[in-house]
């Protein structure tokens, strides 16, 4: 399936072309997401070679009690990988999760074949559900999925057109998914975005946008566009963890310009 660019999240329907307003700066010109062009490859490439080993698969199969007890001594660098280890082991080419992402999302309908890519430094709250399929046709006379139940409806066996997925799901780096958020198939969420609790994301989310509601709509951008562009250019999430540790005083502050300058200086010096 071809890579897709991140577009502006539509506030209403597919027919609406109205661009949501930002409380920081005007979005009359193209958002950084449109110029940067986020793709599945951009997200998965730093960690695409990761595969769950025997320990990760064993860990995922433990009951909650023993796992909680052992967590005192075991601190995996990526809890999401551990949680999804069995699914990743069965579908290594379909699902990738970047380093240091944490959370226990529920991945629905992986049998649809759609791919899921989650970037680095993701924060996934409890109850998040990611749908790779499960859609029904609303433009037909019935929404009932006859072809999905060939045992009951042999005459529907082999009938095409009742696709259950709208495409791959790509979640960028440094994304925060709030409690009980639902991410539908075919959606791309840009770097640095925030999805509010219980939001239902049915359309692409721009970089560093905050979205909320059902369907999720852009509330505002997290930062001024010039700072968003600087962070996207810095690609700080790809730095070695030792360098990230050095940058923590700037990362955990609103001194975005200083952070971008420090990364540029380090890159220029070959650090």
At 102 the pLDDT is 86
Assigned domain for 84 exists: yes
18 or 196, greater pLDDT:
196
| Mean pLDDT value of segment 254-264 | 95
Reported as a single tens digit per residue, the pLDDT across 127-172 is 999 999 999 999 999 999 998 888 999 999 888 888 789 999 999 9
Does residue 233 register a pLDDT over 60?
Answer: yes
Handedness of CA 78, 83, 84, 88 (dihedral sign): positive
Report whether pLDDT(244) > 60: yes
Whether the pLDDT of residue 220 is over 80: the answer is: yes
- 62 inside domain: yes
Residue 255 lies in a domain: no
Q: CA angle, 233 as apex, 246 and 49 as ends, to 5°?
A: 75
Query: Is the pLDDT assigned to residue 118 strictly greater than 60?
Result: yes
What's the pLDDT score for residue 269? 66
For residues 208-229, average pLDDT: 97
Instruction: Decide if 246 is inside a domain.
Output: no
The number of folded domains in the chain is: 1
For 212-243, give one letter per residue: b (16+ CB within 10 A) or e: beebbbbbbbbbebebbbbbbebebbebeeee
Nearest to 44 by CA among 103, 99, 1: 99
Domain that holds residue 211: 32-138+162-218
Out of 83, 136, 173, 207, the active site residue is: 136
Tokens encoding 162: 């009742």
Q: Which residues are registered as beta bridge partners of 129?
A: 106, 182
pLDDT greater than 80 at residue 229: yes
Q: What phi and psi values does residue 110 have, to the nearest 5 degrees? A: -65, -20
pTM, two decimals, is 0.73
What is the pLDDT, as a whole number, of residue 3?
A: 43
pLDDT value, residue 28: 34
Task: Say which CATH number the domain at 114 has.
Answer: 2.160.10.10
| pLDDT at residue 173 is higher than 70 | yes
Q: Give residue 63's pLDDT band: very low, low, confident or very high (50, 70, 90).
A: confident
Average pLDDT (193-211) is 98
- Asked whether residue 187 is domain-assigned, the answer is yes
**For position 26, what pLDDT does the model report?**
36
- Tokens (6 digits) for 186: 């075919």
The separation between CA 235 and the C-alpha centre of its own chain, rounded to angstroms, equals 16
- The residue among 267 and 190 whose pLDDT is bigger is 190
Residue 193 in domain:
yes
The pLDDT tens digits for 8-61 are 333 333 333 333 333 333 333 333 333 344 555 455 444 544 444 555 556 566
Query: Is 191 a catalytic site residue?
Result: no
Give the integer Cα–Cα distance in Å for 136 and 271: 51
Query: Which has the higher per-residue pLDDT, 63 or 9?
Result: 63
Residue 61: the pLDDT is: 66
Q: Is residue 271 part of a domain?
A: no
Domain membership of residue 232 (yes or no) is no
């Amino acid at each position: 399936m071809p890579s897709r660019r991140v577009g502006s999240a539509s506030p209403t329907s597919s027919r609406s072309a109205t661009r949501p307003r930002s409380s920081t700066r005007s979005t009359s010109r193209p958002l950084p997401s449109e110029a940067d062009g986020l793709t599945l490859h951009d997200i998965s490439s730093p960690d695409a070679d990761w595969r769950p080993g025997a320990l990760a698969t064993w860990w995922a199969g433990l009951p909650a009690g023993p796992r909680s007890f052992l967590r005192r001594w075991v601190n995996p660098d990526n809890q999401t990988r551990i949680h999804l280890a069995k699914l990743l082991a069965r579908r290594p080419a379909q699902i990738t999760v970047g380093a240091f992402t944490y959370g226990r999302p529920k991945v629905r309908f992986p049998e649809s074949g759609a791919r899921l890519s989650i970037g680095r430094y993701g924060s996934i709250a409890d109850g998040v559900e990611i749908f790779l399929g499960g859609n029904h046709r609303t433009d037909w006379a019935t929404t009932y999925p006859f072809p999905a139940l060939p045992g009951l409806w042999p005459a529907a066996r082999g009938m095409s057109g009742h696709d259950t997925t709208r495409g791959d799901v790509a979640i960028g780096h440094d994304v925060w998914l709030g409690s009980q958020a639902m991410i539908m198939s075919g959606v791309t969420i840009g770097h640095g975005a925030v999805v509010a609790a219980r939001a239902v994301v049915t359309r692409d989310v721009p970089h560093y946008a905050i979205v909320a509601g059902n369907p999720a709509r852009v509330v505002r951008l997290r930062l001024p566009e010039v700072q968003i562009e600087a962070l996207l250019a810095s690609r700080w999430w790809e730095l070695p963890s030792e360098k990230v540790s050095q940058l923590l005083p700037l990362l955990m502050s609103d001194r975005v310009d200083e952070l971008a300058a420090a990364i540029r200086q380090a890159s220029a010096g070959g650090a």
